[in-house]
Amino acid sequence: MAFVNKHFKTLQILVLLVFFFTLYLLVTPDETNVLWRFPALFAGFPGAINGFAEHLMYDWFPVEVYDSDLEEYETSALIRELTRGFSGGVLFCIQFVREILLGGVKTIVAFTSWDFVGDNKWAVWPALPWTVVLGGAILLGYALSGKMLALLAGIATSYIAIFGQWEPAMETLSFVLIAAPVSCLLGLFFGAVAYKSKTAETIIMPLLNVAQTMPHFSYLIPVMVFFGVGDHAGAIATIIFATPPMIRLTLLGLKRVSPEVVEAGAMSGCSNSQMMLKVLIPTARRDILIGTNQVIMQCLAMAVIASFIGAKGLGFNLLLALNQLRIGQALELGICIVLIAVVLDKLSLAWANKQTDYFADSSYFQRHKYGIIFLIFMVTCVILTFVGKIIFGGGINYFYLIPHNQGITTEPFWQAGVDWMVENWYHGLQTFNNWLIIDVLMPMKAAYLGMPVSATFVLVMGIGYMIGGWRSALIVGGFLLFIAFTEWWDRALITAYMTSFAVIVSAVIGVIVGSLCAQNSFASKVILIVCDTLQTFPSFIYLIPVIMLFGVTDTSVLIAVVVYATIPATRYTVEGLRSVPATLQDAGSMSGVNKLQRWVNIEMPLAFPHIMLGINQTVVFALFMVIIGAMIGTDDLGQYILKALSDKNGIGNGLMLGLCVAFIGLAVDHLIRTWADQKKIALGMT
């Protein structure tokens, strides 16, 4: 008995493994055998969802609408009219910003008519010359933060213009400039509501969990059904995708405001709204800012994905370039997206940190310094544009607007590089590629697919029981059951195999790199900055270099996934190890530990819960990237979601598939989080 008590955990694991392998070996692969595969009880769900969506869009609650073109009343469904009105509003905003930057007639048309524009040739909104935008960016950077930011903004803007990506970049920018603020405001609003009301929080939190683990593509389908296709649809999908992290971080920040600050606000006589706007939100600024950064990152990550439903801009061109395997161009476009992401990120940060200066007895000129400088600059640039018109004659006016793909390009250079690599490294890369696919990936995939559903349940629920008792076992079992009842269990297994492969490799690399860097405070700082920068890149960017090296294969997908998913593992390892209390380090030193002993006996045990949270992030990142990998060609859930996207009745399939992916993520998330929380409490680190 004493033996059992002492090795209780080990025995539990052994019993579990014995059960698992017995089932694995004994259950025969037969479609009628319930132990092998569950019947697809949920197969009718997608159709039902489709029917429901259609009913909502076309039949439910008919209203009379006046059609100004036909000049008569017609019947339409309420939801349809609402979404149509909303789409129109978003589209107008995007076009308005776009035409300020690029010129056009659509804004004028919105207030008059196409006939009016056709009759009056002068009624065209001129574009801002790119030099004005450049000056504006530099000035904004300088005003908000200083020379460094001004330099960064200047370089980024010039790069975009000179490399001939001005038009798509401004298209992307116009769409981000609408989507990001809307997401931030929505996030703030819902975060504040959740903070105020416990009921709202209990409703919002599970929705957020699902929303944040649903793959990007899944959002596109319902948006397409309800809002149609185009820039506005892209913006709406982006808003839906970018809002959840903002809500979460707003809530987190508000909850972290020290009670004394809240009390101080109350004792100063704040009303409810003053309390929220002047005390809570500004005090929670740090977390809310992280939320804003995430929103901006998500917006740019979605720039590519939203192009699937008609959003124009860099993302669309990048997608095109990737499909045509024009690596050089894809790279240039990718850099544009990254530059916009980084500059917007820094500008928003600097803006939030900006303080107003009272008692500055400044003159009119000083107070409006930047406005005046910008005006002068604008006038100069406009004159320069006219001068340019004369210099360049009938050709392209390089001072006004450099048309798409008319700038400098480094594409031949990159193409030559790719060719050179293919020529010289082809053999080595191909050998590696073959080895990986044949000796590692194929057997692993076969092993996953050969797993009877009963064995999977025993394993996963058993782990759940060991970590969090019956409650956890039932939760993860529930998530799994949903997937098992759909017709995509095999696809889910493939997704699981790719994700687990990537997670294992990422975790190993991340923990090793993180541990090595954490030995030294300078290296820690550097690696954290590297992680920060890499995280600013939209996930899509990671596909470019791997396609360059490995072409369109599973290996490419997996390497991109590994690179992307290693970031959180590394970051959390460094953070976890660096946050081990100094007194414990000293205690270790005085006990005479060497570096390895310190790492094994002191640092790792204490940092492990935090590292596990990093692994948790790694799983979510990997899952997302695996799904995005469908673009290159995989045969997992992602590929089916992509197919649903081009299907007229795809909404049901898309949502169900999205939920499958989300539930895989949530099951893992639940297990790791429960475990890490328990461990943290046990170590007294809450």
Partner 1 sequence: MPSQISAAKPVIKCASVYKVFGENAKKLLSQSNGYVDAKTFKDAGCVVGVNNASFEVFEGEILVVMGLSGSGKSTLLRCISRLTDTTAGDIFIDGQDLLAMTPKQLIELRRNKMGMVFQSFGLLPHKTVLENIAFPLQVKGKSTDESMTRALEMVELVGLDGRENYFPRQLSGGQQQRVGIARSLAVEPDIWFLDEPFSALDPLIRKEMQDEFLRLQGVLNKTILFVTHDFNEALRLADRIAIMKDGVIEQLDTPANIVLCPATEYVRKFTEEVPREKVLKIESVMEPAVDASLLGPLQVSKDAIIFTVAEAVLTEPKHVAVVDGLGHIVGSVHASKIIHMLFGNANTTDDKL
Q: Which residues bind partner 1 (CB under 8 A)?
A: 258, 260-261, 263-271, 274, 278-279, 282-283, 285, 355, 357-359
Shortest spacing between CB 360 and partner 1, in angstroms: 10
When the beta carbons of 3 and 358 are compared against partner 1, the nearer one is 358
The answer to whether residues 470 and 529 touch, using CB atoms and an 8 Å cutoff, is: no
When the beta carbons of 275 and 373 are compared against partner 1, the nearer one is 275
User: In 217-233, which positions are buried (b, 16+ CB within 10 angstroms) versus exposed (e)?
Assistant: bbbbbbbbbbbbebbbb
- What is the number of alpha carbons within 13 Å of residue 165 lying toward its C-beta? 30
- As a whole number of angstroms, the distance between CA 282 and CA 612 comes to 31
Shortest spacing between CB 198 and partner 1, in angstroms: 14
Q: Helix, strand, coil shares of the chain as percentages rounded to 5?
A: 80, 0, 20
The token pair that represents 522 in the structure block: 């300078």
The answer to whether residues 622 and 565 touch, using CB atoms and an 8 Å cutoff, is: yes
Shortest spacing between CB 273 and partner 1, in angstroms: 11
When the beta carbons of 33 and 366 are compared against partner 1, the nearer one is 366
Shortest spacing between CB 255 and partner 1, in angstroms: 16
- Token pair 């072409």 is found at 551
| Residue 488 burial (CB count, 10 A) | 22
Adjacent-strand bridge partners of 552 = none
The token pair that represents 437 in the structure block: 């696919």
When the beta carbons of 279 and 560 are compared against partner 1, the nearer one is 279
Shortest spacing between CB 370 and partner 1, in angstroms: 21
The answer to whether residues 492 and 640 touch, using CB atoms and an 8 Å cutoff, is: no
> Could you tell me which of 128, 183, 179 has the C-alpha nearest to residue 157?
128
> Residues, the chain, total?
686
The answer to whether residues 641 and 216 touch, using CB atoms and an 8 Å cutoff, is: no
Shortest spacing between CB 158 and partner 1, in angstroms: 34
The answer to whether residues 537 and 567 touch, using CB atoms and an 8 Å cutoff, is: no
The H or E element containing residue 87 is helix 78-102
| Residue 123 burial (CB count, 10 A) | 13
Adjacent-strand bridge partners of 75 = 64
When the beta carbons of 41 and 264 are compared against partner 1, the nearer one is 264
Shortest spacing between CB 355 and partner 1, in angstroms: 7
> Could you tell me which of 655, 485, 511, 659 has the C-alpha nearest to residue 573?
511
> Could you tell me which of 573, 630, 536, 24 has the C-alpha nearest to residue 293?
536
When the beta carbons of 271 and 363 are compared against partner 1, the nearer one is 271
When the beta carbons of 254 and 459 are compared against partner 1, the nearer one is 254
When the beta carbons of 75 and 355 are compared against partner 1, the nearer one is 355
Give first-to-last CA distance, the chain, whole Å: 34
Shortest spacing between CB 25 and partner 1, in angstroms: 52
When the beta carbons of 279 and 613 are compared against partner 1, the nearer one is 279
When the beta carbons of 275 and 396 are compared against partner 1, the nearer one is 275
Shortest spacing between CB 277 and partner 1, in angstroms: 11
Shortest spacing between CB 246 and partner 1, in angstroms: 19
